[in-house]
Chain A
Amino acid sequence: MLHIKYVEANGTEYLVETDAGFNAMEVAVKNGIPGIDGDCGGAAACATCHVYVDPGWIEKTGKAAEGLEQSMLEFAEDVQDNSRLACQIKLDDALDGLVLKLPEKQH
Chain B
Amino acid sequence: MTALASATAAATEAESLPLDRIDVSRAELFERNVEGEYFARLRREDPVHYCAESAYGPYWSITTYKDIMAVDTNHQVFSSDAGLGGILIDDNIQKSGGGGIDLPNFIGMDPPQHDEQRKAVSPIVAPANLAKLEGTIRERVGRVLDGLPVGEEFDWVPAVSIELTTQMLATLFDFPFEDRRKLTRWSDVTVAEPGSGIIDSWEQRNSELMECANYFQRLWNERVNSDPGSDLISMLAHSPATRNMTAENYLGNVVLLIVGGNDTTRNSMTGGVLALHQNPAEFAKLKANPTLIDSMVPEIIRWQTPLSHMRRTAVADAELGGKTIRKGDKVVMWYVSGNRDDTAIDRPEAFIIDRERPRQHLSFGFGIHRCVGNRLAEMQLKILWEEILKRFSRIEVTGDPVRVRSNFVRGYASLPVRLHA
Binding site for B on A (CB under 8 A): 29, 37, 39-41, 43-48, 68, 71-72, 74-75, 77, 104-105, 107
Instruction: For B118, give the chain A residue with the smallest CB separation.
Output: A75
Count the B residues whose beta carbon is within 8 Å of the partner chain — how many? Answer: 22
Beta-carbon contact of A39 and B360 below 8 Å = yes
Beta-carbon contacts under 8 Å, B348-394 to A? 357, 359-360, 364, 366-368, 370, 372, 375
Beta-carbon contact of B360 and A40 below 8 Å = yes
Beta-carbon contact of B367 and A105 below 8 Å = no
Given contacts A40-B360, A46-B370, contact A68 B127 (CB under 8 A): no
Bound complex: CA of A77 vs CA of B126, how far in Å? Answer: 7
Given contacts A68-B367, A75-B119, A75-B122, contact A39 B359 (CB under 8 A): yes
Bound complex: CA of A105 vs CA of B250, how far in Å? Answer: 30
**B208 on interface, CB distance cutoff 8 Å:** no
Given contacts A40-B360, A43-B73, A75-B119, contact A107 B368 (CB under 8 A): no
Beta-carbon contact of B73 and A45 below 8 Å = yes
Beta-carbon contact of A43 and B69 below 8 Å = yes
Q: Closest CB-CB distance, A83 to chain B, in whole Å?
A: 15
Residues of chain A within 8 A of B360, CB atoms compared? 39-41
Main SS of chain A's interface residues? Answer: loop
Beta-carbon contact of B366 and A45 below 8 Å = yes
Give how many A-B residue pairs fall within 8 Å (CB-CB): 52
**B194 on interface, CB distance cutoff 8 Å:** no
Residues of chain B within 8 A of A71, CB atoms compared? 75, 111, 115, 367-368
Beta-carbon contact of A72 and B359 below 8 Å = no
Beta-carbon contact of B127 and A107 below 8 Å = yes
Beta-carbon contact of B368 and A72 below 8 Å = yes
Beta-carbon contacts under 8 Å, B280-301 to A? none
Beta-carbon contact of A74 and B115 below 8 Å = yes
**B91 on interface, CB distance cutoff 8 Å:** no
Q: Can you offer 29 A-B residue contacts whose CB atoms are under 8 A?
A: A37-B359, A39-B359, A39-B360, A40-B360, A40-B366, A41-B357, A41-B360, A43-B69, A43-B73, A45-B73, A46-B370, A68-B367, A68-B368, A71-B75, A71-B111, A71-B367, A72-B367, A72-B368, A74-B115, A74-B119, A75-B118, A75-B119, A75-B370, A75-B372, A77-B126, A104-B127, A105-B127, A107-B125, A107-B126
Bound complex: CA of A49 vs CA of B364, how far in Å? Answer: 16
Residues of chain B within 8 A of A75, CB atoms compared? 115, 118-119, 122, 368, 370, 372
**B81 on interface, CB distance cutoff 8 Å:** no
Residues of chain B within 8 A of A68, CB atoms compared? 73, 367-368
Residues of chain A within 8 A of B357, CB atoms compared? 29, 41
**B23 on interface, CB distance cutoff 8 Å:** no
Bound complex: CA of A68 vs CA of B73, how far in Å? Answer: 7
Q: Which of B69, B127, B372 contacts A40 (CB 8 A)?
A: B69
**B72 on interface, CB distance cutoff 8 Å:** yes
Beta-carbon contacts under 8 Å, B174-197 to A? none
Residues of chain A within 8 A of B73, CB atoms compared? 43-45, 68
Q: Closest CB-CB distance, A74 to chain B, in whole Å?
A: 6
Beta-carbon contact of B69 and A45 below 8 Å = yes
Bound complex: CA of A44 vs CA of B73, how far in Å? Answer: 8
Q: Which of B111, B118, B125, B366 contacts A43 (CB 8 A)?
A: B366
Residues of chain A within 8 A of B366, CB atoms compared? 40, 43, 45-46
Q: Closest CB-CB distance, B81 to chain A, in whole Å?
A: 16
Q: Closest CB-CB distance, A44 to chain B, in whole Å?
A: 7
Determine which residue in A44, A46, A47 has the highest number of CB atoms from chain B within 10 A of its CB, and name it.
A46
Bound complex: CA of A44 vs CA of B367, how far in Å? Answer: 8
Bound complex: CA of A77 vs CA of B130, how far in Å? Answer: 13
Instruction: For B74, give the chain A residue with the smallest CB separation.
Output: A68
Residues of chain B within 8 A of A37, CB atoms compared? 359
Q: Closest CB-CB distance, B102 to chain A, in whole Å?
A: 26
Bound complex: CA of A105 vs CA of B118, how far in Å? Answer: 19
Q: Closest CB-CB distance, A89 to chain B, in whole Å?
A: 18
Bound complex: CA of A43 vs CA of B344, how far in Å? Answer: 14
Instruction: For B368, give the chain A residue with the smallest CB separation.
Output: A71
Bound complex: CA of A67 vs CA of B372, how far in Å? Answer: 20
Q: Closest CB-CB distance, B54 to chain A, in whole Å?
A: 29
Residues of chain B within 8 A of A47, CB atoms compared? 370
Beta-carbon contact of A45 and B359 below 8 Å = no
Instruction: For A29, give the chain B residue with the smallest CB separation.
Output: B357
> CB-defined interface of B104-143 with A at 8 Å, one 1/0 digit per residue?
0000000100010011001001110000000000000000
Beta-carbon contact of A45 and B127 below 8 Å = no
Beta-carbon contact of B375 and A107 below 8 Å = yes
